[in-house]
Amino acid sequence: MVEQQKTYSIGKIAQLSNLSAHTIRAWERRYNVVTPLRSDGGTRRYTESHLKRFQLLGAAVDAGHRISDLVELDQAILAQLAGTVRTRAVDRQASNRKGEYVTLDPRSVTEAIGYAKELDATNVERCLGIQYRLLGASTFRTHFCRVLLTRVGTLWEQGEISMATEHLLSAALKSLLLRTFDASSTAANAPKVVFTTPDDEQHELGLLIAAGVAADAGAEVINLGPQLPADVVGRAVLKQHPFALALSMVNVPLGTQRAYVRRLRNILPDPIQIWLGGADARNDIAGCEVLGLEEMAARIREVVAVRASATS
Ligand code: B12
């Protein structure tokens, strides 16, 4: 029964598989890649297994395979193919073995950084796009990004990458991370959570990761972006009246964090919670709480459940 399983709109499938709605429709029409369910009004609805198939097909196409060669393959073989790319695309050392296939996953981070070092934006985006599809948005954000950025941090400390390389990678990651929260797909009474960072906090990727986790847990994410003065945030929050304000602190001195939260607490009514996250978030600041990703997600799921039972 359609009603009993989770289904997705074509827009959501496009977002989660990194394909356009146009491509999805074309693949259905030309190659019959999946047969979508239909709502009462005749609109396409897709199941979890359809989503997985589009993600794998997209990744396999990105990896150099032709869609016409893929349509007959089952999920297991597709998964194998999607995890491989032609050697020329993986790394330079292997490129003399032209036409061979090699496993992508263990090298994906190295590969992305390699292209970024050459300032090859097209291939950086392609590599990250493949990982996004293969792993899914959630694992991409919580695992792949963390591993990649930790490596970038180490190389940066060792003076092995330039600022341009770091910026290229950050920009490519940011554009993928921004895709993963889409207000149109949240429930009408979802708890709103506003995300931002203080004036001098440029680090934004952790904020976007946290915002994605919040969206997955059922929150309506309002992302103000980084580096906002407390007064500006206070005014925006008063307008939106969210359940919580989530701040990311990666490189902010304790005194600044304290003053920032104090300023906000003076502006905001008590029921609006202030959550602090990020590697530098301090536990000993009055008027707010430090939360990890899991804790924040659990908090949001709890409110979602309470609101759902109140309306049913
Ligand atoms: C990319 C990067 C930058 C980029 C940021 C680009 C961007 N658009 O975001 C740029 C070039 C701007 C930058 C600048 C600087 N950086 Co920098 N940067 C990094 C790097 C490589 C990755 C940061 C990152 O995105 N981390 C990945 C995410 C996944 O981690 P995270 O932010 O901690 O977030 C995680 C959790 O904490 C949590 N989380 C984050 N926010 C929130 C919020 C909530 C509510 C919740 C629940 C959870 C949560 O979720 C995330 C997932 O696990 C790190 C190295 C590293 N190892 O992290 C250094 C690093 C963070 N940078 C550092 C420094 C020192 C700087 C500079 C001062 C360097 C300089 N001399 O100019 C400037 C400061 C600029 C400023 N004023 O803010 C230090 C910070 C050290 C510290 N805290 O004491 C690091 C650790 C590098 C190092 N080892 O020295 N940087």
Q: Looking at residue 139, what is its pLDDT?
A: 78
Query: Residue 134 above 90 pLDDT?
Result: no
Question: Residue 110: which CATH number?
Answer: 1.10.1240.10
Question: 146 CB less than 6 Å from ligand 1?
Answer: yes
Question: 150 CB less than 6 Å from ligand 1?
Answer: yes
Which of 180, 212, 227 corresponds to the end of one domain?
Answer: 180
Domains identified in the chain, total number: 3
Look up residue 186 and give its DSSP letter. Answer: S
Is position 103 within any domain?
yes
Residue nearest ligand 1's atom 43 by CA: 277
Shared domain for 153 and 193, answered yes or no, is no
Q: Which residues contact 150 (CB under 8 A, 6 or more apart)?
A: none
Backbone angles phi, psi at 248, to 5 degrees: -105, 130
Summarize the confidence of residues 63-75 as an average pLDDT. 76
Pocket-testing residue among 170, 196, 233, 251, ligand 1, by greatest number of atoms within 8 A of Cβ: 251
pLDDT tens per residue, range 142-165:
878 887 888 898 889 889 899 999
Tell me which of 207 and 153 has the higher pLDDT: 207
For 45, the domain range is 1-66
For the ranges 54-58, 221-225, 304-308, the one whose mean pLDDT is highest: 221-225
Question: 200 CB less than 6 Å from ligand 1?
Answer: yes
Residue nearest ligand 1's atom 39 by CA: 278
Shared domain for 190 and 307, answered yes or no, is yes
Backbone angles phi, psi at 35, to 5 degrees: -110, 105
Query: Residue 104 above 80 pLDDT?
Result: no
C-alpha 286 – ligand 1 centre gap (Å) = 24
Shared domain for 187 and 302, answered yes or no, is yes
C-alpha 74 – ligand 1 centre gap (Å) = 41
Query: Which two tokens mark 177?
Result: 């991370």
C-alpha 153 – ligand 1 centre gap (Å) = 8
Residue nearest ligand 1's atom 38 by CA: 278
pLDDT tens per residue, range 258-272:
999 999 999 999 999
Query: Residue 35 above 50 pLDDT?
Result: yes
Question: 152 CB less than 6 Å from ligand 1?
Answer: yes
Q: Looking at residue 81, what is its pLDDT?
A: 67
Q: Which residues contact 76 (CB under 8 A, 6 or more apart)?
A: none
Q: Looking at residue 22, what is its pLDDT?
A: 92
Q: Confirm if 211 and 221 have CB atoms less than 8 A apart.
A: yes
pLDDT averaged over every residue in the chain:
85
pLDDT tens per residue, range 283-302:
889 999 999 999 999 999 99
Shared domain for 16 and 134, answered yes or no, is no
Pocket-testing residue among 144, 193, 202, 203, ligand 1, by greatest number of atoms within 8 A of Cβ: 203
pLDDT tens per residue, range 230-267:
999 999 999 999 999 999 999 999 999 999 999 999 99
